[in-house]
């Protein structure tokens, strides 16, 4: 069993890297429908939520120290770090700078749960953090844009409700209904269903990674001029985030699961929502959308590597 666990720790990141490679190469020949990304995210979340019981969620909500720390990191420390790193490398008046700020200040509200699971983090506590992340980034994005880019813009609160219902509440309720019926059938059936859901989560994550690279590789290659500085800023940001997460977790005496959860939520960014918002705020500035896509393509290999490193330290 130990040998199987060790092999699995290497195999899962390797499979995801293969998905990145095949997705990118196939993108030169044929682009699959963009809806595959949305469907794979929903499928992944349903599988994850199936394995999170109401008791686990309540335990996550009770972890006030972690939730406060994660919010402070996500919405105070990381925006400051994003501004400083971006300012060092990019002209503050450029749209590239605006795109980097929009990308870096918004924590993820969907696929980071899958990587939390892979990293042996606490899915329940990050699930409790999820709606907080979503609401605060919607409310604070105009403030970040005003302070860092001098752009006085308004973000519709409707974006919060759309994301909350379609990406959190509906998948959670659906998964919990299925879990309820499985538990009624019997404990053994529920345990087998848990295993099936865990496997389904990983398969959905593979499809998600494949689809994202398949759909966006040509945009990446068509805009190589902005890639070097974007790469430098995003990589520096992620490196700082990792060491910051390690230091804070050690200082606060977090468990490995809490440390992994904190590092993953601080590293994963909310590209889908920011893409939608940026199109509404800056409809003629396609460079901002390109920055978001480039950041996402850098982020996924980074999350794969993080998941591998964190689970090896369990």
pLDDT of residue 76: 96
Cβ atoms of 73 and 244 within 8 Å: the answer is yes
Residue 25 falls inside a structural domain: no
Residue 23 falls inside a structural domain: no
pLDDT of residue 2: 39
Residue 7 falls inside a structural domain: no
Name the residue with tokens 């009624």: 184
Which residues contact residue 81 at a Cβ distance below 8 angstroms, ignoring those fewer than 6 apart? Answer: 237, 240, 241, 244
Residue 123 falls inside a structural domain: yes
Buried b (16+ CB within 10 A) or exposed e, 191-203: eebbeebeebbbe
pLDDT of residue 22: 95
pLDDT of residue 223: 72
* Positions of the chain with pLDDT lower than 50, given as ranges: 1-6
pLDDT of residue 8: 58
Residue 9 falls inside a structural domain: no
CATH value at residue 118:
1.20.1530.20
Q: Count the domains in the chain.
A: 1
pLDDT of residue 303: 92
Using CA atoms, how far apart are residues 70 and 297, in angstroms rounded to an integer? 24
Residue 131 falls inside a structural domain: yes
Residue 158 falls inside a structural domain: yes
pLDDT of residue 159: 66
Residue 152 sits in which domain range? Answer: 32-309
Residue 13 falls inside a structural domain: no
Burial class (CB in 10 A: 0-12, 13-18, 19+), 87: middle
């Amino acid at each position: 069993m130990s040998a199987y666990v060790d092999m699995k720790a290497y195999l899962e990141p390797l499979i995801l890297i293969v998905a990145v490679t095949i997705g990118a190469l196939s993108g030169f020949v044929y682009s699959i429908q963009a809806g595959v990304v949305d469907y794979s995210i929903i499928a992944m979340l349903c599988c994850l939520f199936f394995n999170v019981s109401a008791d686990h969620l309540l335990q996550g909500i009770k972890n006030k120290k972690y939730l406060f720390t994660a919010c402070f990191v996500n919405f105070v420390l990381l925006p400051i770090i994003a501004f400083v790193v971006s300012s060092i490398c990019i002209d503050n008046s450029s749209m590239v700078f605006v795109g980097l700020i929009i990308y870096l200040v918004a924590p993820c509200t969907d696929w980071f749960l899958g990587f939390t699971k892979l990293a042996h983090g606490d899915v329940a506590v990050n699930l409790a953090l999820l709606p907080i992340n979503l609401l605060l980034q919607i409310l604070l994005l105009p403030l970040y844009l005003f302070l860092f880019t001098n752009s006085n813009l308004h973000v519709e609160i409707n974006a919060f409700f759309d994301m909350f219902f379609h990406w959190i509440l509906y998948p959670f309720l659906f998964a919990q209904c299925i879990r309820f019926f499985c538990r009624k059938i019997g404990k053994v059936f529920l345990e087998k269903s848990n295993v099936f859901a865990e496997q389904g989560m990983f398969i959905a994550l593979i499809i998600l990674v494949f689809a994202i690279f398949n759909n966006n590789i040509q945009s990446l290659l068509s805009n190589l001029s902005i890639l070097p500085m974007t790469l430098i800023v995003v990589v520096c940001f992620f490196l700082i985030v990792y060491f910051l997460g390690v230091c804070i977790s050690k200082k606060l005496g977090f468990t490995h699961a809490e440390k992994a959860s904190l590092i993953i939520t601080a590293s994963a960014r909310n590209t889908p929502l920011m893409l939608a918002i940026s199109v509404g705020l800056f409809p003629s500035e396609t460079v901002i959308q390109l920055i978001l896509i480039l950041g996402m393509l850098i982020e996924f290999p980074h999350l794969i590597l993080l998941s591998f490193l964190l689970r090896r330290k369990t």
